[in-house]
Every structure is written in C-alpha cells, then in structure tokens.
C-alpha cells in the first residue's frame, strides 16, 4: 500500500491509474479505524479498481470545546487494517498540507439541513465536513466515495453537496457495523469506561425498539420517539442530546412515521457523545 502525505503524490498516482483506465474509489476517514471503516474499504474494493483511503483528523469540523486534541490516533494500526482489506493508497496529510494558515474558504450548505439533529449542538461541524470532503474530492477526483450510514446526516449532506456542486462522484452509503452486543462501532467508543460501555447499549436497544414499533405500524413520530426517549431516559449514565424523526433526505422533522424517515439520536455518556439511527423500511 502506498502511503502518500502530499497532494502532489496523490494526484500523480491517481493520474497514473487513470492512464491505465482504472476506476478509483475514495474512503474518507479520520483514522483510528475499526471494522466499520473496514466495511467501507471492502465495499470500495468490490466496486473500484483502486481504492484510496484518507486518514486525517480534520480540525475544521471540531468546535473549540470539542475533542480535537484527544481524538484517538493510531496510524500504524490504520495502515495494517487498510492493507489487510486491500486498500491501495492511504492519504495521510499534515494539517498544513490541507489548510494554509490563512485559509478562509469553506463549503457550507446554507439551509436548515446542517442545523438539524447534530447541527443543534455542533453548529459549525458540517461546514468543516463539507469543506474537507470537498477538498478530498478535488484532490483524489474519485469515481465513487464511500460513507457510513451511522453518520446519516453527514451522508445526506454530502449527497446534497455533490448534487448541488455538480461533482461527478457517486456516493455510496454503507450499513452501520455493530459490536456483537449491538453498540454501533465508533472510534469514540474507546472513551467509554466499563460502566458507560454497558450503559451505551441503550442506543442500539432504542433503535431496536423504534424499529419494532415502526414494523408494528406505529405512525406517530411523537409516540415512537417518546418510547425511545423513555427507554434511554431510564439509563442513569445516559444524557440525551436528541432523539428525532426526520425526512431521510432533507433532515426536516416529520410527524408521521413512514418509509424513508430517519430516526436518529445522539446521547452523552459524561463527555462522550455517541450517535445511532435507523431508517424506516418500506
Ligand atoms: O466521518 C468522518 O470520519 C469524517 O466526518 C470525514 C467524512 C472523514 C470528514 O473528515
């Protein structure tokens, strides 16, 4: 696997692949990779001739009070996992490679979409995500890019950005990967102490409860969200940020549960904020 740290190296390698007529997939990550990321790489390898993963903890998507400095990092482990899953190149830039000290250009969806759900407590987050993903798209110019459904709002926002900025890139959403006991895989799970790790199961339990109620025909978003909220509320270590039902494309709140509705939540365990979700099936 090639390790590239500069934009120039990535561009030269992708150009060489393009000359051979090969297709290129991009898996953007912030490193500290787990099986969720591995599933994105597997999907990319199955759909593209060459796969590039980026490994970059993007400062612009963290607010000053968030965990940028403590965000877990382990590049050697990341390389081993990527190599094992058939990734061809990892792009591992320094912050200075992607952001000039006076960088002042951002990509932002100027609608309510990034202000819903996670945007309520992380108002600048999606501006940073769109900016870095847009830069990665410009650097790698992939045919396809792969994102996890766990970050459902991020996925919807990136789909919209790609559509509205006319990127000729196909966005592939990949299913949530869970631990054996149901907890969605996340690099931030590593912050949980044993009691919090146990308590964090309320997220996947709430997902299962919501899915069951939807399958049984519950159409009231208030009732379904209420039942999930009550379940999480019974766990003393959990502090709910939000549990919401929104349109799966626009992220606008909905009153009625029907196919395509996204039911998403964010819950704190002390300072650790975890997310989970499901989309109502047809
Ligand atoms: O989902 C993530 O890990 C990040 O938000 C992304 C898409 C790699 C951008 O930094």
Q: Which atom of ligand 1 is nearest to the CA of 151?
A: 1
Partners of 263 in the β-ladder: 245, 278
Query: In 3-state terms, what secondary structure has residue 35?
Result: helix
Whether 282 has a pLDDT exceeding 90, the answer reads no
DSSP-derived pairing of the beta strands 272-279 and 261-269: antiparallel
Note the pLDDT tens digit of each residue in 103-134: 999 999 999 999 999 999 999 999 999 999 99
Q: How far is the CA of 164 from the centre of ligand 1 (A)?
A: 20
Helix (H, G, I), strand (E, B) or coil at 185: coil
Lookup result for tokens 């099986």: 35
With H, G, I as helix, E, B as strand and everything else as coil, classify residue 259: coil
187-238: per-residue pLDDT in tens?
A: 999 999 999 999 999 999 999 999 999 999 999 999 999 999 999 999 999 9
Asked if pLDDT for residue 243 goes beyond 90, the answer is yes
Return all residues near 192 (Cβ < 8 A) that are at least 6 apart. 200, 269, 272
34 an active-site residue? no
Residue 5's pLDDT band (cuts 50, 70, 90): very high
Tens digits of residue pLDDT in 63-77: 999 999 999 999 999
Best of 26, 27, 29 to mutate for ligand 1, by most ligand atoms within 8 A of CB? 29
CA atoms within 13 A on the CB side of 101: 0
- The helix/strand/coil state of 242 is strand
Quick: pLDDT tens for 44-103.
Answer: 999 999 999 999 999 999 999 999 999 999 999 999 999 999 999 999 999 999 999 999
Query: pTM of the entire structure?
Result: 0.98
Residue % of the chain over a pLDDT of 70: 100
**CA pair distance 33, 186, nearest whole angstrom:** 9
C-alpha 178 – ligand 1 centre gap (Å) = 18
Nearest by Cα to 211 from 200, 227, 198: 227
- Does residue 275 have its Cβ closer than 6 Å to ligand 1? no
Bridging pattern class, strands 89-91 and 50-55 = parallel
CA torsion 85→145→58→53, rounded to 10°? 30
Question: Catalytic pick from 34, 37, 88, 231?
Answer: 37
């Amino acid at each position: 696997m090639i390790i590239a740290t500069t934009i120039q190296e990535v561009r030269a390698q992708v150009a060489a692949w393009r000359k051979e007529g090969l297709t290129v997939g991009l898996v953007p990550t912030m490193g500290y990779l787990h099986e969720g990321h591995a599933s994105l790489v597997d999907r990319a390898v199955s759909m593209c001739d060459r796969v590039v993963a980026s490994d970059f903890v993007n400062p612009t998507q963290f607010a000053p009070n968030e965990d940028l400095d403590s965000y877990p990092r382990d590049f050697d482990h990341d390389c081993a996992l990527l190599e094992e899953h058939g990734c061809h190149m990892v792009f591992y830039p320094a912050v200075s490679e992607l952001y000039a000290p006076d960088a002042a250009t951002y990509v932002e969806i100027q609608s309510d979409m990034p202000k819903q759900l996670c945007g309520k407590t992380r108002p600048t987050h999606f501006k940073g995500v769109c900016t870095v993903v847009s830069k990665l798209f410009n650097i790698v110019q992939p045919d396809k890019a792969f994102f996890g459904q766990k970050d459902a709002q991020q996925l919807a926002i990136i789909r919209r950005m790609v559509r509205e900025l006319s990127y000729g890139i196909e966005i592939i959403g990949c299913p949530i990967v869970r631990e054996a006991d149901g907890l969605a895989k996340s690099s931030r799970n590593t912050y949980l102490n044993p009691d919090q790790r146990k308590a964090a199961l309320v997220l996947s339990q709430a997902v299962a409860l919501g899915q069951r109620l939807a399958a049984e025909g519950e159409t009231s978003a208030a009732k379904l969200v209420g039942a999930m909220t009550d379940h999480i509320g019974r766990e003393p270590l959990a502090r709910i940020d939000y549990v919401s039902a929104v349109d799966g494309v626009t992220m606008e709140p909905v009153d009625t549960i029907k196919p395509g509705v996204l039911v998403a939540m964010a819950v704190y365990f002390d300072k650790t904020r975890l997310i989970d979700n499901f989309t109502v099936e047809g």
